Structures are given as C-alpha cells and as structure tokens.
Amino acid sequence: MQLNEKIMTREALVGIIGMGYVGLPMAVEIARAGFRVLGVDVDEERVDSINRGSSYIDDIASEDIEPLVAQGLLGATRDFGELGQADIVLICVPTPINRAKDPDMSFVASATEQVARCQRAQQLIVLESTTYPGTTTELLQPRLEKEGMKAGTDFYLAFSPERIDPGNKRYKPGDIPKVVGGVTEKCTERAVLFYSQFIRKVVPVSSPTAAEMVKIYENIFRNINIAFVNELAMLCDRMGLDVWEIIDAASTKPYGFMAFYPGPGLGGHCIPVDPHYLAWKAKHYDFHVKFIELAASINDNMPYHVCRKVASVLNGMRKSVNGSRILVLGVTYKKDVADLRESPALRLLELLRQQGADVFYNDPYIPELILEDGALMESVPLSDRLLEDTDCVLIVSDHSGYPYEWIASQSKAVVDTRNAMKHHTFDHVVRL
C-alpha cells in the first residue's frame, strides 16, 4: 500500500521521537485521529508513564492518554529499532544552546542517526524541533541519503515547526495552523496530506528552510517586542507613568497594534533561546542580526531592574536588601505551567541572595529547585505568619490560583512584576 493510501485509511503507523511538551500533545492529537502512534524516548520514566496511561505534562490529562493506550492507538518505547515499522516519523527532541550560546544540535543529530539506522522506503520523516534555517537540508538530508535513498523519490523529508503554547487553553494543537516545507514538492504534498488529517489548516511553504525561518521569525518577533515594552516600562518608571495603563489604552486601537507586556525577564525553552539559533546561522553569511543583540541586552537586564525596584521599596521602609526577608511568589517562567526552564526567577533568587537577602519562595508547581551555585531551595507554604514575617513579596509568576487580595492585605510591601494585582488597590503594592 502506498503512503498516501495508508494515511487516508489510518493504516500508517506514526513514530514520534521525543515525548515532551511538544511530542506528547502531538501524539494524543494524532492517535485521536485514529492513527497508531509509537512514542520513542530515551527517558524510561516517561515511556513507562505513557504505557501506564499516565500523563506528566500539564496540558494533557491522564484521562486523555488512558483510552488511547487501552485501544492500542498509543504506546511508547525506548527501542529505536521499532521505528523501522513506522510509516511516518516526527522528530520533537530538544534544541537548546550551549554555554557559548551556540546551537546544541546533539539531540537532533542523534535522533537523525537513529532514524537513518532503521530507515525504509516510502517513509515520511518530519523534523518539528525549532532550529536554524538550513537544518533539514544540511544536517538531516545528507545523513538520510547516505545509504543511497533519495529524498522525494525513495522517502519524503520535511520540516514543520511546532507552534503549541503550553498552558494555553484556547488553542488546542488541532486549531493551530501548521506550516510545512518539504525538500521536494512530493515531500511537501505527503506532509500536507498527513497533517491535514488532524489539523484544520495546513500552510505549505516553498522549502524546509523557509519553514524553519518562519518559526524562528515568529519567536524572535515576540522576543524583540517584549524587549521594546520592557524598555518602555523602565522609561515609564523613571517618568512616573504607569506602563500598564499605557498598554491597555494603546490596545484599544483596532488595527496596527499588538499588546506585549513587560516582565521580570524572559524564560522558557523557546523565546530566550531561539534568537541565538538565527544569530549563529546569520554569521555564516557575514550577517549580524542587530535587533537580536539589542533585545537580549534589554531583556537580560530586567532581573537587575527588578532587584533595584525591590531595593527602592525596602529603602522606603528604611531597610536594605541585605538582611531583609524576601518572598518570591511564583518561580516558573510563565503562569500556570510547571516549567522552570530559563526562568528569570532563578536569576532573581541568585541576585537577591548575593546581596545578602534572606530569600525564600512559594510555587505550587515547583516543590523544590536547585540554584546555579548548588543551593537547594524548597517551596514554603503561604500563611498569615509567613507574610507577617516577610519584608517584601516579589511576584515573579502570576499563577491564577494565588489569593492576591489576601496576600496583599497581609504583606508589608509587594513588588508586582506581572500586574497580578491589577484588580486590587493597595498603596504598598508597587508595579513594574
């Protein structure tokens, strides 16, 4: 049976390498559409968890997985050899940066190697990890064609970026248009046919490199606009203006404006990381992407700005940072997710500790964390007593479940970096 027919009849077996924030929701969506899905991951706990029908990702409930596992539509393995049976292989492994802030392609390279070892004719292979423009044709294609098979005739190769937004209840994977760029027209056609089975709108582009650039552009767009509004927040602070008021009023313009909000610094696996992928690639073309550098210098400065804000609030109470008790509320990189990756809270905890503060934190999603200097911290439970004994509460992540009014009413001072207290008026709450 040809691949097209296997896709249309749901006979196709879909292998997904990397069952994290991207891979698992994608697996659930595809299995719900009636395909058999095999997740392949190096993490034994994750593999066992899927096979037990139990979720480890906030956006996916165990009840989403259980019936799919029971029906034989979803399973997981650590054995890459099983990929040989897959008709379609999606690669959703991490793409971090190394200490020099250059792309760390080791995960993509090792996943590609595993695919190449059990590759067979007519397979559709799609890279979904966010990466620099050129990855699919420069890194994947040569390895996959090494044994003599040709992309576009013997197998199909494409790039299709993942655009899910963890914690976002409004857009499910099937509602988010999917951009697809194949190495040849036939590759694009096959990939479009596959994704159209479970995604409402599929957007073909001319090449995998174009699709890679689309994703990087989207994320850098956010990074740069956040930097701009962060800079505006610092200026408004100096001018005695309320930046949140300015943004809200500007947002009433029905066209040509999109609201971005200031914060304590960038976090997560994507927005602070992806610009480095483009900057690195651009250098191969003697090109320096200046906006990225500029945005990074502003965004990286935000934790320092927040520390100065805390110091100034304490100063108003005739106290210094040194020796003050500071409670950091919410440490994840954004609200309502259990993800600590690149969170600005980590930098803030370190900076405040370096200045001699007695810092502790509360986060219902993160029971404990380890700072770069090796210090282990545990989330402290919120209580009247705790807030009474705290000199300043610093809101870093505005989780929906926090009782903000009670927190404000029991605290001596609050620095709110997320405008979480917008519905409450307290004189001792200072916003970014």
Ligand X SMILES: NC(=O)c1ccc[n+]([C@@H]2O[C@H](COP(=O)([O-])OP(=O)(O)OC[C@H]3O[C@@H](n4cnc5c(N)ncnc54)[C@H](O)[C@@H]3O)[C@@H](O)[C@H]2O)c1
Q: Known catalytic residues?
A: 270
Least distance in angstroms from the C-beta of 339 to ligand X:
7
How many other β-carbons are positioned within 10 Å of the β-carbon of residue 333? 27
CB of 125 to ligand X, least distance (A): 14
29, 64, 162, 231: which one contacts ligand X (CB under 6 A)?
162
**Choices 106-114, 138-146, 188-196, 221-229 (CB under 6 A): range interacting with ligand X:** 106-114
State yes or no: residue 20 binds ligand X (CB under 6 A): yes
Q: What is the largest CA-CA distance in the chain?
A: 78
Which of 22, 30, 179, 321 is in the footprint of ligand X by CB under 6 A? 22
Least distance in angstroms from the C-beta of 27 to ligand X? 11
Least separation in angstroms between CB 287 and ligand X: 23
**Per CB under 6 A, 111 contacts ligand X:** yes
Identify the sign of the CA torsion 380, 381, 382, 385.
negative
Our finding on whether 342 is near ligand X (CB under 6 A) is: no
Is residue 130 a contact point for ligand X (CB under 6 A)?
yes
Shorter beta-carbon distance to ligand X: residue 36 or 163: 163
Q: Which residues contact 18 (CB under 8 A, 6 or more apart)?
A: 40, 41, 91, 92, 93, 94, 107, 111, 129
Q: Which is nearer to ligand X, 264 or 272 (CB)?
A: 272
List 46, 334, 418, 431, residue binding ligand X (CB under 6 A):
46
- Contact status: 110 vs ligand X (CB under 6 A): yes
Question: Which residue of 95, 160, 209, 419 would you call a contact of ligand X, by CB under 6 A?
Answer: 95
**Nearer to ligand X among residue 205 and residue 359 (C-beta):** 205
Residue 25 touching ligand X (CB under 6 A): no
Q: How many residues bind ligand X (CB under 6 A)?
A: 26
Choice from 94, 173, 204, 208 touching ligand X (CB under 6 A): 94
Nearest to 73 by CA among 46, 111, 36: 36
Cβ nearer to ligand X, comparing 95 with 230? 95
Q: Based on the shown chain and the rule CB under 6 A, indicate whether residue 112 belongs to the binding site for ligand X.
A: no
Residue 159 phi, psi dihedral angles, 5° rounding: -120, 135
164 binds ligand X (CB under 6 A): yes
Q: Is residue 166 involved in binding ligand X (CB under 6 A)?
A: yes
10 Å Cβ neighbour count for 225?
15
* Residue from 15, 23, 182, 263 binding ligand X (CB under 6 A): 23
- Can residue 302 be called a binding residue for ligand X (CB under 6 A)? no
Instruction: Report the C-alpha gap between 260 and 228 in whole angstroms.
Output: 9
CA-based radius of gyration for the chain:
24
93 makes contact with ligand X (CB under 6 A): yes
Least distance from ligand X to the Cβ atom of residue 116, Å? 13
Considering the rule CB under 6 A, would residue 40 count as an interface residue with ligand X? yes
Candidates 8, 13, 42, 60; binder of ligand X (CB under 6 A) is: 42
Closer by beta carbon to ligand X, 336 or else 391: 336
How far apart (Å, rounded) are the C-alpha atoms in residues 264 and 251?
A: 21
Region near ligand X per CB under 6 A, out of 104-112, 189-197, 347-355, 361-369: 104-112
Q: Which of residues 356-415 bind ligand X (CB under 6 A)?
A: none
Stretch that binds ligand X, among 38-46, 305-313, 353-361, 392-400 (CB under 6 A): 38-46
Q: Quick one: which segment of 87-95, 249-257, 307-315, 411-419 binds ligand X (CB under 6 A)?
A: 87-95
Give the residue closest to ligand X by C-beta: 20
Whether residue 268 contacts residue 334, with contact meaning beta carbons closer than 8 Å, is answered with: yes
Taking CB under 6 A as the criterion, the residue among 92, 115, 227, 328 binding ligand X is: 92
Note the residues at the interface with ligand X (CB under 6 A).
Answer: 17-23, 40-43, 46, 92-95, 107, 110-111, 129-130, 162, 164, 166, 269-270
